[in-house]
Structure formats: structure tokens, C-alpha cells
Amino acid sequence: MFYIKKYINVLYWIAMAGIIFWFAYSKGWIFANFDSIDAKQAIEMIEKDDDNITLLDVRTIGEFRTGHIKDARLIPVQELTENINMLEGDKHKKILIYCRSGSRSVVASRILKDRGFTPINIKGGIISLMGAKAELTK
């Protein structure tokens, strides 16, 4: 009986380590092959009106309609792989990516990086952008 409890305890800690690892990976905290910036840095880049930057919103259509950054393109993260050709003209540009809270933009950043783009993830998504007083449009 002692060995069974010990075995279950080891399995428990392995599972917990796996969950922590998955969470850190999904947030882009580990193994991120792309840059991330905070909302204030993103707003500064956007306000420079640089032609070398493309804004990409990877939320759903419904979320996009509630408000988005001016001139942002919408490609929901679920549809990004099959619609990657919509960004081919921007391959030489930096692509600022945001979602609602920052998780989907990490996924999108990984997809774009793997296909030769230069993604920059906006940490905290549109929630942090609104907190930093970013101007939204509908």
C-alpha cells in the first residue's frame, strides 16, 4: 500500500509540473521564438504611423466589432493558417498581434514566426491596450 501511495504522489507531481509547463508555454513565457511588448510600447509604435508595421487582430469577428485598434486587420487565430496568404504582402514588415488577453496572440505569433514573418506579440491583448488608453474604433 505504501508503494501505491508513493506512486500516486509521484504521478501527481509530474502532472502538476506538466500543467505549469503548458501554462508557461501557452503564455509565451518559455520557448518563445518571437518578441513581446507591453501595451504602452505598442501604442508608441502605432502612434509613429510607421509603414513598416501591420496590426493584426486575431480575435473573433464578434469581438472585433465591439472595438479594435484603427487600421487593424482581422484574421481570427482559428483561421490564420488557412488565410496566411492575406499577409504575404506584409512579410517584410513587423506584425503587431493582439487578441483579448494575450493567449491567442501567442499562438498566432508562433504560427507567423514559423512561416517567416516577424511577429510582435502585445502582452495582455486589447485589455491591456485599453488600460493604457489606446484609442479603439468600431
User: In terms of C-beta distances under 8 Å and separation of at least 24 residues, what long-range contacts does 111-117 make, across chains too?
Assistant: 111/77, 111/80, 111/81, 111/84, 112/34, 112/80, 112/84, 112/87, 113/33, 113/34, 115/84, 116/91, 117/87, 117/90, 117/91
Q: Which entry of 99, 107, 122, 126 is annotated as an active-site residue?
A: 99
Q: What Rg do the C-alpha atoms of the chain give, in angstroms?
A: 18
The residue type found at 18 is G
Cα 18 to Cα 7: distance, rounded to the nearest angstrom: 17
**Is 58 noted as a catalytic residue in this protein?**
no
Active site residues: 99
